[in-house]
Amino acid sequence: MTRVQQIGVIIGLVIVVALTMLRADDPGIFKLIRGVTFDEYQRLLPRTFEPMPVRVIDIDEASLREFGQWPWPRDRLALLVNRLSEMGAAAIAFDILFSEPDRLSPRNVVREVTGVDASLAEKLPDNDEIFAQAISGKPVVLGFGLSNEGSYRPPVKAGFAFTGESPVSAPPHLTASTPLRPQLEANAAGLGHISLNPGNPSPVVRTVPLFLTDGVQLYPNLAVEALRVAQGASTYVLAGAPDRAGVMTSAKIGDFVVPLTAAGEFWLYVSPDRAERYISVRRVLAAEGASSEVSAAIGGSIVFIGTSAAGLQDIRVTALGENVPGVSMHAQAVEQILSGRFLSRPDWADGLEILTIAVLGCLLVVVTTFVSPAVALVCGLLITAMALVASWLSFLYAGLLLDPLAPIVSGSITHFAATSFRILVIDRERREVRRAFGHYLSPSLLHRIEHNRDALRLGGDDRELTVMFVDVRNFTEMSERLAPTDVVAFLNTLLDALSRHVVANEGTLDKFIGDSIMAFWNAPVDVADHETKAVRTALAMRETLAELNAGDAFGFGPDQQVDIGIGIHTGVACVGNMGAKTRFNYSAVGDAVNVAARIESSCKEVGFDILISDSTARSVDGMALIDAGAIPLKGKSSRTKILAVLGNEQVAASREFAALNAVHRQLVQALHSHSRNTRKLMDTAKLRADDVVGGLVEFYRRIPSRTDHFRELAAGIEKRAADTEK
């Protein structure tokens, strides 16, 4: 394991530990995400609506239009109870608070009239008494609300039995409740709280506390109390943990066992809101009596009386995203219990999710660190898919609510962090590689290679290249006089200064061979007008060397000048990665490379610093070039025509070059014809040479020893001219 991998693993494990601890703390955002996930499961597969002996007697808009605005006088509610009881309702549960006297009662109305004898009021009927008499002896359950003021707690109409340790402290705490009218409280068969999600800020009702506690006594909610009364049961049997107090696992209500959370909450598994669930109060209190259809629906059913009227503001949101009357949530809870289709989130779910985050996080850290990012991504996607499938199948077949998002989100964060670290490291290494290759390739070439994968073709590739060789003259003699460290310093100074021009002109530095430079153009990517760019590089090297000599950059003194020779040739070569599988160089080999090297070697014999082949010269327009003869090269059956590069386009356009070029052409013809004017023409060329470029005098001084080069050249020119005429 490398140091970078060790650091990556450590950082990844730290993130895994942090995420595991965060999940163990279970902040509100995790609970919200978990709730939304479970909502989506219910939306994908809601509980099927089945005809159940449960109905909502709805104080709807039609009933308010029929009987007037709410609240109604309680003698009308008494009539409603009597009608429902006559129809055979198994239980009648009011999702309505009766905490204040009925202000519409005749007795209370008269008392508020000034000047009326108080004894007269006592003779008038009291609606609360009428309502109390109506519910007496009937299976009526009244609801009470929660309050933050006072200390009133309602009486409990049922007993409690426990298995295991006492779960009394498990449910949400009841501080106080809204007091009911005493006669109503006394005559009701059951009392239950109507709060659906006390203390929960979410507008979505996902769980309902079936019980509340004050630390000593448990208080049932309206739904289970209605279910108990409907069965004629007298006791709730609550199961606690066998070895820990304050934990609730299930509740037995008559013949039904309901799984609960540790806090005594019941997970609602809702069905879509259906009109079949509701019966309008108007239909029950019809003057001609309820229809047989209504009577059949109510007979033997548990009925909940509440309101769907928007103005009465008892609208809740279900897990399906529907806005429904709060009373229907109580009805759905009883429907669910009767259907036996429960949702549960077992106590071990949190532990399993925490363990999953830790284990999968560690696995992702290892995979992301030691295998390719593609494999790590595939593993991450597989883990995500497995978590989603496992969670969904648990919901589908067992009703278990297991959160897939906490492990997925934590795993994604871990994978992102580990991958980001790896990418940063790789990016740093790439920057180092780019910086290293920046010494060999121009920024424009690097950019093209980075953004065009097809531009860089590795392996052997035959292509036309312009190859350059640069060599220091008399380097052996020079190195004998210098200490090794001085030789290295000299080479570094010179080669660095010269090689910059290769990169600047989109060339590729192949290698440094002692005091020599090998470079080429048109690989690894195509370079337009590569012949001209190679010649411009040579001219720039000439100028740079002159500046270095003038400034005594090498410390040799003004009398010791450094000279170089440059040879350039254009031809086909094989370029690509060459060497062993474990170590190779990007280089070029072939005849074109050999010719360029031999042209550079000919600079000594020719007596000029920049020579190019005829194949290169044919693509170089406007430069100041003169014929330098046709030289024999080792391994070649015919001579190779070369040209001397005097300068760029500005030099070529000068009068000095025009004059020299005219004399030079005459000299070449004279050499071919053995003319007596050869000496005179050569002297004239020497005189005009210094006006064009320095060092050209030596070129003309050496021509007498190379006359055969020019005779061959002239013969070749004449032959090509004759071929052209034909």
Residue 436: predicted pLDDT: 55
Q: How far is CA 632 from each of CA 312, 564, 636, 639, rounded to the nearest angstrom?
A: 110, 21, 7, 4
Q: How many angstroms separate the CA atoms of 468 and 508, rounded?
A: 10
- Express each pLDDT in 536-573 by its tens digit: 999 999 999 999 999 999 888 888 899 999 999 999 99
pLDDT tier, 311 (very low <50, low <70, confident <90, very high otherwise): confident
Please report the pLDDT score of residue 721 as a whole number. 45
The residues, ordered by sequence, that sit 6+ positions from 584 with a Cβ below 8 Å of its Cβ are: 577, 578
- For residue 450, the model assigns a pLDDT of 58
Report pLDDT for 426.
Answer: 62
On whether the CB atoms of residues 226 and 54 are closer than 8 A, the answer is no
**Which sign, positive or negative, has the C-alpha torsion 487, 488, 490, 496?**
positive
Longest dimension (CA), the chain: 162
pLDDT digits (tens, 9 = 90+) for 563-616: 999 999 999 999 887 766 656 677 899 999 999 999 999 999 999 999 999 999
In the numeric block, which tokens belong to residue 364? 């992702």
Q: Do strands 516-521 and 508-513 pair parallel, antiparallel, or not at all (unpaired)?
A: antiparallel
Task: Kindly report, residue by residue over 628-662, the tens digit of the pLDDT.
Answer: 999 988 777 788 999 999 999 999 999 999 999 99
The pTM (predicted TM-score) of the whole model is 0.62
CA 134: distance to chain centroid? 65
What's residue 23's pLDDT?
84
Residue 472's pLDDT is what? 94
With a pLDDT cut of 90, the percent of the chain lying above it is 54
pLDDT for 719 beyond 70: no
How confident is the prediction for the chain on average, in pLDDT?
87
Nearest to 444 by CA among 536, 521, 512, 517: 521
Query: Which pLDDT value is given to residue 441?
Result: 56
Banded model confidence at residue 232, pLDDT cuts 50, 70, 90: very high
Tokens of 142: 């009244």
pLDDT at 278 over 50: yes
Helices and strands of the chain, counted as H and E runs: 26, 26
Residues 160, 212: Cα–Cα separation, whole Å: 13
Q: What is the pLDDT of residue 442?
A: 55
Of 90, 247, 74, 57, nearest in space to 170 by CA: 247
Local structure of 92: helix, strand or coil: strand
Q: Distance (Å, rounded) from C-alpha 304 to C-alpha 329?
A: 10
Residue 203, pLDDT score: 84
